[in-house]
């Protein structure tokens, strides 16, 4: 009888996820980033844990990688072409690219007009970061590592 109780309790623990190996939030985030880099998509993200916290970290870190790439594309278009006409804003992804392109052009224009790069515009958090990055002399094309996420994804 005692053996049955121990066996039943062990199975209950496994079914409730108590027997699952603990995965750190950092590992969940790294998995999301890896998936984004390998698949360029977050819709089919395989969950590595039943933990809600882990799932959120995976999804947000995956989306962040994709958005950083889209924003980098927009910044590069602004720097290379000096216009954003080639970026159509039909989907959420292209809206992010176009927004980063246009905010970079604002930053470049501010620099040319000798407007301080820390000038406060009410353009939103991510746009402000891109504005400052493109306004500042010597801003590299890889400034998006510090950018916040857009609201599309």
Share of the chain above pLDDT 70, in %: 75
| Per-residue pLDDT band at 137 (split at 50, 70, 90) | low
Taking 70 as the threshold, does the pLDDT of residue 39 lie above it?
yes
Structure tokens at 19: 């027997």
For the chain, give the mean pLDDT. 81
- Domain map of the chain by residue range? 22-146
Taking 50 as the threshold, does the pLDDT of residue 79 lie above it?
yes
pLDDT given at position 143: 42
Poorest-pLDDT segment among 19-23, 85-89, 92-96, 110-114: 19-23
Q: How far apart are CA 131 and CA 100, in angstroms?
A: 8
Poorest-pLDDT segment among 10-19, 84-93, 112-121: 10-19
Residue the block writes with tokens 């007009």 = 113
Taking 90 as the threshold, does the pLDDT of residue 32 lie above it?
yes
pLDDT given at position 66: 96
Poorest-pLDDT segment among 88-97, 101-110, 119-128: 88-97
Q: DSSP string covering 94-144, please?
A: HHHHHHHHHHHHHHHHHHHTT--TT---SS-HHHHHHHHHHHSTT--TTGG
pLDDT given at position 22: 85
Structure tokens at 116: 């301080």
Q: How far apart are CA 127 and CA 134, in angstroms?
A: 11
- How many CA atoms does the CB half-sphere of 47 hold within 13 Å? 8
pTM of the model: 0.73
Structure tokens at 73: 């594309």
pLDDT given at position 103: 96
CA distances to 109, 124, 136 from 114, in Å: 9, 22, 11
């Amino acid at each position: 009888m005692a053996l049955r109780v121990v066996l039943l309790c062990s199975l209950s623990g496994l079914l409730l996820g108590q027997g699952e190996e603990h995965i750190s939030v950092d590992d969940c985030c790294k998995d999301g980033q890896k998936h984004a880099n390998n698949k360029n998509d977050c819709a089919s993200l395989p969950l590595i844990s039943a933990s809600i916290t882990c799932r959120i970290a995976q999804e947000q870190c995956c989306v962040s990688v994709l958005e950083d790439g889209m924003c980098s594309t927009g910044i590069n278009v602004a720097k290379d072409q000096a216009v954003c006409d080639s970026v159509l804003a039909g989907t959420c992804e292209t809206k992010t690219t176009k927004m980063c392109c246009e905010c970079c052009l604002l930053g470049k224009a501010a620099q040319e007009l000798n407007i301080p790069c820390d000038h406060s515009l009410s353009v939103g958090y991510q746009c402000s970061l891109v504005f400052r990055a493109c306004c500042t002399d010597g801003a590299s094309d890889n400034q998006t590592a510090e950018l916040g996420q857009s609201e599309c994804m």
